[in-house]
A and B are shown apart, each in its own frame.
Chain A
Amino acid sequence: MYRRILMVLVLGVGLGLTACGSEGGASSRDSTLRWAISSAPRSLDTAHAFDGTSVNVINELLEPLVVVDPQGQLEPKLASSWRQTDAVTYVYTLRDDVTFWDGSPLTAEDVVFSIERHRDPAVASEYGTYVKDIASVTATGELEVTFTLKTAVPEFKYLVALFSHTVKKSFAEEHAEDLGDSKTLTMGTGPYQATTFSADGVEVTRNDEYWGEPPTWEAIRFDVIPDADTLHLAVDGGEVDGTFNVPLTSSRNWDTLSDTSVHYVDAPISTVLSMDTTAPPWNDVHLRRAVAHAIDRESIVATVFGGHGRVSQSIIDPSLWSFLGPDVEDFETTFDGVRAYEYDLDKARAELAQSAHPDGISFTVTYPSGRASVGKPLQVMAASLKEVGITLTPKEVPASEWIGYIYAHQDLGAQILAVAADYPDPGVARLLLGKENAVPNAFNVANFTSPELEDLLAQERSADTGTRVDAMHQIAKIAAEEVPYVPLFFLDSTLALGKDLRYAGDFSYWTPLLDEWANRVQVRK
């Protein structure tokens, strides 16, 4: 009997090899989009679900005042127009034709309420950091919302796209304790309405009364598939229509799928190696430079990620400069005079010889378990560092333990971390810098600061774009001279789609993060 089972297995595998080539695309397409996500949203309440997967789902349900288009430009959503009246005042005028799923009209009260929730310490919103500079947000008319800031925040116009997702006030008040959970769900204005939410995933159906363009799909099923290999098989078998979760470290396997096309686009997701500049051994700039010269970023991007990434030379992503406005110089010139660390073992040895550790050192870098996108690069880095006498030992620890080390901000040593930009502005790099962030629960894990840098960081907050650009140029220069962080690479965003589907317009890192996206996924005619 077992022999028979084994034969079936062998036969099955054999059949599979031939069947794969001959099968066509998913032929029977109903009007439900089946989208794979890696875990269920933690909540449908934005305040407690600020992570990639949850945001992708919530963007179909709740709408913000403005959104960011694929090119990174602001577009109106619930607000028909907005204006900045002075450095700290922003006024948004709402559309007058928007209704919630229950038919009631959207008012400025609902918008103000949704934003006030993030400001309420009792709610403990994950967006707290992005609303901390708001002095007040008020309904200055039936359809008008006015923000007053405590200080100028150059990227504020983009932040509004992150935190202004609006939920109906009376609904949220009625369900103050359980808004966004699997029983209560939520009440929004979006093109799709949540119908079920469980550990299985989320199902949403078309909002027939939607105020904007009619939604593309009758329904969308967000199915949870945590394991990357299972996801690959499910996509291969045509059981899901698409996903954003293609692991770059196995992109080669995905590229060979016959009925699926995988799109890769540049994304401002920066991976850096940090070194605590205030404690030995890393308080030695020559040691840090030696490490920077001994890492072969080109080959990491080419071999580990199949070329689906960009080698980085600075903690500031060059692709973000252009968002400062049309008058900002081309980034190539903006990076003029910024010290670069090409892969050169002789230069690394020379720097090491000048350091306090001419014979090299040994150090450990922890990384979150299962995260091949940092684990594999660490292996490659360890190999080339070995050549100059520096021993790097990568150590895999549970994700909660890893983030615990980072947030505790003690005995930081060297760390590897990936920082994704939440909004299109090169100023996001400031999260890694300065006194303000060299504390527990913040990300200056290199403890990098100096009076000069603090001055520049203050200038970077200026309302004047020219001043900001000059300041950031100086910051980039200092960060490159002192190398508190070795910039490693920027990883691509991915989109896998069944061959019978197409993505209308450009796929971009910004869309699923800062705009509704499922209506762009359309059946190929």
Chain B
Amino acid sequence: MRLALWLGGRLAGIALTLLIVSILVFGILYVTPGSAEQVLLGTRPSSPETLAAIRERYHLDESVGSQYVHWLSSAVRLDLGESVRSGQDISTMLSERMPVTLFLAAYAALIAGVVGIPAGLVAGIRSGTLTDRAITVATTICVSAPSFVVGFLLLYAFGVALDWFPNYGTGGGLVDRAWHLTLPAVALALAPMAILARQTRASALKVYHQDFTTFARARGLPRRVVLGRYALRNSSLPVVTTAGLVVGYFLTGTVLVEQVFAVPGIGTLMIESVSTKDVLVVQMLALVIALFMLSANLLADLGHLALDPRVRKGVLG
């Protein structure tokens, strides 16, 4: 019951945040220069009759408030409207583009987690050694290299010179898609991987020198139990929080990476839509990204509940 209440409160908060985001995005797009009807008519002169027809069809002659209400009342009925740039249903566009981006984000998250967390753990436990310093230097490089620069470097090295991976596109089928998206996923994963490694290192360092870990080692417990049950679990709280934030980064970071690797996901859609002032599409993308971020944070908090009895007690009584 307490959990349901807590969860309900959080979900209501998410809904309210989304509403505020939608108003802000709509308002900001409305005041930026450029007109939607010009996107609809292309780059050729247009007649007043055509303009009038377009304005009426897309409610462009109404006030910003009533345009927003139009959008909101359709959106809650899950009618997302159509793109002014292509005339396609936005729900179709999302269903076409979302899977690619989610695949890319999940792949990148996997790489970041599988490489970043163990690397951080090793660095934390062996702090001060050459391994630790090497990992620290590497993470510094990874976190500071812009993803599009890394992208081109990867493309040149593994796409053109070694010819191991394709240079662009998404491929069909699971294996082919993974092959196509490996380079973009690596480019996307590097910075969050480094952040995760740093975070894991810091908390492992702290936990590993605490009395209970020393005691566990003194009792002669096997290394994997000391590391797995004592060090990793106890150092995972800040890591889970970071992971929540980092997952949000995947959706925004993908804007640059998708552009470089010609991946037709929501990142490239965002670029196309912002540059042509495709208001409804930008609105929807902003909401999807916000929803993703908020859900990731909620999951991270749920993760806290599962991992830490103290937090569980605080929330559930």
Contact = CB atoms under 8 A, between A and B. Distances in A.
Given A181-B88, A229-B152, A398-B34, A442 B45 contact: yes
A170 B89 CA distance: 23
Contact of B46 (A128, A404, A437): A128
A199 interface: yes
B193 to A, nearest CB: 11
B263 to A, nearest CB: 9
B144 interface: no
A12 B159 CA distance: 10
Contacts of B86: 42-43, 48, 181
A282 interface: no
A395 interface: no
Contacts of A227: 259-260, 262
Interface stretch (B165-173, B200-208, B217-225, B290-298): B165-173
A40 interface: yes
Contacts of A239: 166-168
| Size band of the interface chain A makes with B | 35 or more
A227 B41 CA distance: 25
Contacts of A2: 134-135, 137-138, 141
Contacts of A132: 47
B274 A42 contact: no
Interface stretch (B6-14, B50-58, B67-75, B299-307): B50-58
A281 B44 CA distance: 29
B238 interface: no
B112 to A, nearest CB: 14
Kindly name the residue among A12, A51, A239 whose own CB sees the greatest number of chain B CB atoms within 10 A. A12
Contacts of B129: none
Interface string B23-39: 00000000011110011
B317 interface: no
Contact of A405 (B33, B137, B163, B262): B33
A126 interface: yes
A223 interface: yes
B44 A126 contact: yes
Contact of A13 (B49, B134, B157, B269): B157
B33 A401 contact: yes
Contact of B268 (A3, A199, A442): A199
Contacts of B40: 48, 124
Contact of A403 (B43, B135, B259, B274): B43
A122 B272 CA distance: 26
Interface string A332-374: 0000000000000000000000000000000000000100000
23 contacts: A9-B157, A13-B161, A16-B160, A19-B163, A48-B86, A48-B87, A121-B49, A124-B57, A181-B86, A198-B96, A198-B264, A225-B262, A229-B260, A230-B262, A233-B155, A233-B160, A239-B166, A397-B33, A400-B32, A401-B34, A404-B34, A404-B38, A441-B51
Interface of A: 1-3, 8-9, 12-13, 15-17, 19-20, 39-40, 42-43, 45, 48, 50-51, 121-122, 124-130, 132, 178, 180-183, 198-200, 223-227, 229-230, 233-234, 236-237, 239, 369, 397-405, 407-408, 422, 431, 437, 441-443
